[in-house]
Every structure is written in structure tokens, then in C-alpha cells.
Structure 1
Amino acid sequence: MTVRTIIPVILSGGSGTRLWPMSRPEMPKQMLALTADQTMLQLTAGRAQGERFAAPIVVANAAHADLVEAQLKDAGAEAQALILEPMGRNTAPAIALAAIAAGETGAGSGDAMLVMPSDHVIADLPAFHAAIAAALPMVAQGWLVTFGIAPDAPETGYGWIQVGEELAAGVHRVARFVEKPPLDKAEAMLASGDHAWNGGIFLFRADAYLAALAQHDPGILVATTDAMKLARREGTRIYPDAEAFAASPDDSIDYAVMEKADRVAVVPVAMGWNDVGSWDALHAISARDADGNAHRGDGDGSVLAIDTKNCLVRSDGVKVALVGVEDLIVVASGNDVLIMPRGRSQEVKKLIAAMKNR
């Protein structure tokens, strides 16, 4: 069997609170133009366009329906189906909804689903497409494939994958998945040379994924199947039944399927991947001036930096001026301003928690 068509499945349900104040529940980071003139959602859709790719299936928060449709239309990547979750239930149920929808549109066992988060950066598109091509023969045989990101640091904020025996050119069996490790274990895995970061990008046949769910987490399959049977449909919009979907376990694809299934493979790839999970991460991948500053003003916002070094400055409205400072993150959005030292941007979650408690 060969794979005929690749159906992009774009997961756009995240809230992206680590990039507050620009990213908010009503305007999460995938809807923002953080790394280019296009938004991260638009860039994601653009990675899977061409002769072999079908129109995408997008799984999103129901509150973002208009925004998703408008952004995809502007990018020339309108969805074949927009599945609007009534509540978040993590990635395993979200992907199940997409797999069921793929079957409804006539996708048979000869079609594959390319599952991509909507808020990641991939700088080397040819490397990504080469990795997809390497994976397709194994996908056609029913394997579940993930893409292992070539690590360049002992990251403790990512899951890791141990790369096992080679199954085909560039494709290996997954030896094990590793949870977010402490620093000493991350350093050891980086030094070993046989581990990769888990980037959360997958390629498999829809029927293979649903069969794996039936075996390893049938509660998700039953709930999502019921939710889709009872779904309300408006054109390309699909509203899964809220009561049925609420009965689904809240679980990631890694826990529900990938760590339990037998035929799971990994394609290691260096493709300039970044999950842009913090303002520090954005500074690291942004174009910087001669003094190491990454600054950008959107809309009416403007940024002026004098005698300033190694700062990230973003504004979508107010003018921001910096004089004589170093290693700061300054983000102004609406009536909110964030100021913190570079290197501590993961602590934004503390601010979010504190604001909720006030």
C-alpha cells in the first residue's frame, strides 16, 4: 500500500498564556504574527500545501471560529473541516475528532494525517518535507510516526525520545519516551547522541490511530465517536456534541497511544524547530540588531532603544523607549505591560496565577 494523500491536521486549541500579555485566551499565540508577517497559524498551514496535500482539518476552540476562518482565508489555506471543541480535552481526543472527520470526507486507509501544533516554528521546510517523505512508507504499513527534533541543549521543558533500531532509511523504532527530565538526565541524553526532543508532530493513517485508541484508550474513542455522531454542522464547521465530548478522558496522544502502541517509529530531523514557548525563546530566534536587541512595534506601536543591549521589546500600541538597559524583556499590549529580566520568562505563569488569585 502507498499513501495517496496527506491530510494536514492543525491543532489550534491552545491558549498560549506563557506569552502574556500579547497572547490571551481570546487571542492566543497561534493567532499572532510573532515570528513573521504571517501569524503562526498561517505559517503552519503553509507548511503543508502542494500537490500531495489535501486541504487541512483544523481543530480549534469554538470561541476562535471566526478568527481561524479569516486567517486561513487570508493565507489561501481554507479548511476542509473546522472542528470546534466545546471544551479542551487535550491532544488525544482532538486528534480522534480529526481522524473521524477524515473518514467522513472519504479518506481511506491510503491517506495519512500530518498532525501539527499551530504555534511552532519550522525554519527548514525542505528538511521537514524530506522527513515526511522518509516516514511515508512506514505510515502506509500502519506505523504511527513521530518526528524527533535534533537536540542542541539539555532542555528540561521538553519530553525526549530515545531513538532505537533503524527500520528504514531515516526511520527508527522508538525505544522509549522520556518525560520532561531533570537537568542531569537531560545532559546525559544530549551527550548520548541517541535521543531527540519530542516536538509533538505526528504522521499516521487515520484508521491506524483510531485502531490504537480502541486498543489502548477506548474511552476516548467512544466519547469522540458519539460527539461526532451527534455533532451540529454548519458548512465546513463541525460542533461536536458537548455532553458526549465532556465524557472523554483528558489525555495527550503521548500518554494515550504513543507510549503504549507497538508499532511506533521516529524520524530524527534537524529542521530549525522551536515551540516559541516563552519570550526568551522568541528572542533567541528573532532577528537582532548589532546590540543584540530584538524589537518590533505592531500597529501604532513603535520601539526606540538607545544604549540598550540584548533586550526583547514588543508593542502592539503604545510607544516604548529604552535607555541604558540590558537583558530585559519588555512587552506592551493594550493596557498591560510586562517587564522582566531575560532568562526568567518562564515565570510569566506565576504572574498569570497571581492575577487569577487577585
Structure 2
Amino acid sequence: MPETTITETTIFSAPAGEREPNYPRLLHTDPDGPHAGALLLIFDYGLPDPAGLLAFPVYRSDDGGVTWAQISQIRDTALGVGHRFQPTLYELPAAVGGFAAGTILAAGNAIPDDMSRTHLVLYASTDGARTWQFLSVIDSGGPAVYDPGPESTTSAVWEPELELIGGQLVCLYSDERYKDRGMLQVLVHRTSTDLRTWSEPVLDFGVPDRLTRPGMLVTTPALPDGRVLGVLELVGPPGVPVHLVSSPDGLRWTPADNLGTLLESVEGTRLSGTPNISWTRPPGADHATVLVTGRIAVAADGAIRNVALVNRASGHGDWHEVPLPVAATVAPDDPNAGYSQTLLLSPDGRTLVQSTSRRNAAGNLDIVVGTAPAPAA
């Protein structure tokens, strides 16, 4: 697209009184792979499938995010309860478990209407996200009830994220079942070499103070220097701050109570809640450009900013503000607008692509994708 192009496309607009769509996750497929750099989008509105169960809609763009078409629904063909929350997409960069590089994986939370259980499930598509097959239940937890209070007894599992590391698929997720150790919620991972059976969980982050509740860990593929970066939110401390964490390989994050560093721009802007992270190494660049979003960006004076944070030195040194492509005002007391949005930099380093949710005239939410020229370094 031309360097001066700025676009906004409303993918889905929810009417008044319906469930609020959210968790709009973008996947930029490998430009040299079988999907030729197509963009894929998923979110958790959960439109009913022909059987009446909630299903995740999947959309595709072949022009860099300007136009979109729905190409499939990921239906619950295994548990029969419906796909409700927290979907994510991942393209296999190498073969694993009998699936070739370029296979599209999807993980999400399958939850019945009575919210009585949480199930993190894995599906695969070998035709570019047009059809899907169930592979496995990664983990199952208690009811889908959110209670971050110090006396909470909740036991759900939430927020799966996928990475292929060392020939095994890694699923990182939030787990509320460590309260007997004084931890309201922890971040764990399981691994699989066949995508059907999973290792025992490994504790990555957790603080035994019945206050600090790390969640929503999202990580990057390995940077050029081999490190893996991640972002997480901290429920409990004021402002739900977003922290940056680092691992030598994406599997070792110890010690578990080391929650990394607070993300803050040189302008004094901090991010709050539902973080996401991505990186690209534009052609000719010496270092990777890292982008981090939160649900809200708060300036030093308390003003709400429609920005992400960018670092052009592979996560080292200073972070700066970068304007988000979609024009949106997110209120601190609106818990869903902007929830778990995505911001990507195109492989050529010229275009920012954002997916987000924005409050609409009906009082519900729209899922919106925007593109804009990347700011000069």
C-alpha cells in the first residue's frame, strides 16, 4: 500500500444487548510461506455455529489489512460446550507433530453456558485457516469466574499463547489453582511434541503474597540475539501495570517472583492491562523493532493516550510513544474497549497494522482494524 495510506475497517459491529466482541488477535503469516504474508484475525464474540454453540470467527486480508473477509468459524467439535474466550492464532515456523511448517494453529477457552468449567483447547488448519480439526485439550480448570480479591477461591485457567521452541509446541497460560501456595494466579507453560499430549505444567511467574496477580503473558519468537521477550499485566498493584520480562530461550523465566521491569516511555507514558507484544527486523536495520500495547496508555500527567510503546534496539534502552492507527478513546472505567488489542509492523517496516475493539453508537463494541505509515526512526 502507499506509504501515506491510513485506513480503518470495521470488521464486526455488535448490536445493543448482545455479547461484547473482544480479544482481536492478528497473525501476520510468513511472507515466504504458503500463505504469502496474508493477515489473519480472530476474536471472541462467539457467534453461534449451526449447532447453536459459540464459535470463534476467523477473517483474512490479502492486502495488508485494508479489506477483510470471513473465511471460517472454529467450531467446538470435541467438547460440545462452545468456544467463548481468549482465542489466539499461530503459524508453525517448522514441522512438529506431523504438521508441516505453515500450519495454522488456534488455541482458546471452551466454556459452557453455565460457566462451570474452563478448557484450553488446540485446533489446527492445513488449508490457511479455512477448515479446522481438533487436536487436544491443553488443560482444564474450574469455573470461568473472575475474582482477584485476596480471599478468592477461583480455579480457572485462562489466556493461552503459543510458541514453537526447540522442536516442541509451548503453551503459556494463566492458572488460578496455586492458591494453596498463597498465589492468586500464576503463569505456567506446558509443552508438546505431538500436539495431542502435554507435559506437566511448569511454573514461570507467581508471587505468594495474595495480592500480586500476574496474567496474560504474551511472548515473542526469539529475537536475532536469541532472547525471548514477554509482557504481562499485574492485577493488584495500582493501575494494572504492564511489565517486560526476558528469557534466554522462552522456557526459563526463573525466579518465579521476578516480574521483570515496568514499561515506561521516555515521555513518562505507562501501559495498563491486557498487554501484547510483537517484533520485526526491518530490512537493513541493525536491531529489531519491538512494539507493546496495553488496553490503556496513561501519560505522566494522567491523561489517556492513544499510543503504543516502541523500542528499536531489540528491547534494550529507551522506549518511545508511537501513535496507534485506529482513532479510539478508551476510558479507564470501560473494562472491555481496547481489550487485548494487537499491533504489528509489516515485514518491510513501512506499515503499522492494529486490531482493536472500540465502543460503538449502540453502546456495544466494534472490532476494527487500522493501518498507518510507521513513524520514522
| TM-score (norm. length: structure 1) | 0.28
Q: When you count strand as a share of all residues, which structure comes out higher?
A: 2
- Bigger Cα Rg: 1
Q: When you count helix as a share of all residues, which structure comes out higher?
A: 1
